Amino acid sequence: MRAGRKFGEIQLMLKMLKGKKKCILGVIGVAVLSVFLTLAGLALLLNLNLQKTVDLMRFFATKRFIESQYVNPVDDGKLMDGAISGMVKSLGDPHSIYLDPSMYRKLQDHTSGSFGGIGVVMGFKDQKVTVMSVMDGTPGQEAGLQPGDEIVAVDGVLSKDIEPEEVAMRIRGEIGTNVVLRIHRQGEDDQDYTIQRSSIHLQTAAEQMLPDGIGYIRIASFSEKTGQEFKDCLGRLEGQDMKGLIIDLRGNPGGLITSCVEIANMVVPKGPIVSVVQRDGTREEHDSKLEDSKYPIVVLIDGNSASASEILAGALQDTQAATLVGTKSYGKGSVQVVIPMNESDALKLTIAKYYTPSGRSIDGTGIEPDVKVDMDPSAQKDVQLLKAIDVMKEKIAQ
């Protein structure tokens, strides 16, 4: 009797499962049919080929099924944000990123100047976020951060779990607020640094007259005012009868190409400075109008010299207007644009690459110095600068 009752219960359960399976399949079928009809019209309107139409069907069918069948309610906006972010991540480009509304607002605050930071320049390479340089008199310097430090986490969020550009966004924030960085330093245990954000004001170019009439200009980055700052530095050095110029681009992450071109027009001989080449072959050429170089030049570069720094160094090297001393540069030779979207969000996307006057691509390769000099962190003297001075003395003596 009990066995018969048990058998009947099993039959009932099987019928229920079959019914549920038919229901789920029915839901999927309706979703797929709805998506197919919608996309068929869209494909016709946009003149999409078969493969692109199928891909769109896969995307919308997946989205529709998650919305209707996922165990918890779904935020449609977050679902779409995740899909767009996933597309950008699949490019494998650390400089391309989807900016959700929160991140886009931070970027806008940064460009308008109403943001707080800690005064460090970061590099994104080998799937790591590394401190390239620490600005003088900033919270980062006061906290004890050093070039070469790896940023393992920001406010408890591991850097490896988010995009490199997002790490930089999270470090920026309202002036007076704190950010906690977990730092990995070679030979030491990981350590948390609590740093208060402040307004960052930076003079990007500064000069010094060295012995034997050797002028020295350090360029920290390329901002809107860097061209004028460099011109002022150059004028003061020339007023002291400068015989040769050392340009220090070590730890310079780059910046505005317009400022780089402005400076190049003061030191690079007449002719090409850089070409910006898009995917379709469209080229934007930047040329120098300088008739003749006034004095010999030596340029200092290292593994943290990137982007606009590499453009200037590459142009001076290719035109044989300068000797490069130091170590191989970073290798960031790509151009990004920020494209606003419909929902207060945006897309930061790499759209072009830089090429030096001789046609070299900087991206992923970097620039080799003419005179290689490694920098020992424990050294008491700046051996790279000392070598640059020796090279300059030889040039002046010729």
**Catalytic annotation, pick one of 100, 302, 318, 363:** 318
Q: Which of 159, 329, 332, 348 is catalytic?
A: 332
Name which of 179, 161, 260 is nearest 219 in CA terms.
260
| Neighbour tally for 209: CB within 10 Å | 15
Catalytic option among 198, 275, 307, 334: 307
Provide the 10 A C-beta neighbour count for residue 382.
15
Distance, in Å, from the CA atom of 35 to the CA atom of 66, rounded to the nearest integer, reads: 14
Q: Strand 205-210 relative to strand 191-196: parallel, antiparallel, unpaired?
A: unpaired
- For the CA atoms of 277, 367, 291, 248, what is the dihedral angle to 10 degrees? 120
Kindly report the backbone phi and psi dihedral angles of residue 349, in degrees, each rounded to the nearest multiple of 5, phi listed first.
-135, 135
315 exposed, middle or buried (CB, 10 Å; 0-12, 13-18, 19+)?
buried
Q: Provide the 3-class DSSP secondary structure of residue 382.
A: coil
Q: Note if 332 is an active site residue.
A: yes
- Given a contact cutoff of 8 angstroms between Cβ atoms, the answer to whether 307 and 256 are in contact is no
Phi, psi angle pair for 17, to nearest 5°: -65, -40
Say how far apart CA 124 and CA 130 lie, in whole Å. Answer: 7
Q: Does the active-site annotation cover 318?
A: yes
Spatial separation of the C-alpha atoms in residues 347 and 353, rounded to whole Å: 18
Rounded distance, CA 245 to CA 260, Å?
17
Q: Return the active site residues.
A: 307, 318, 332
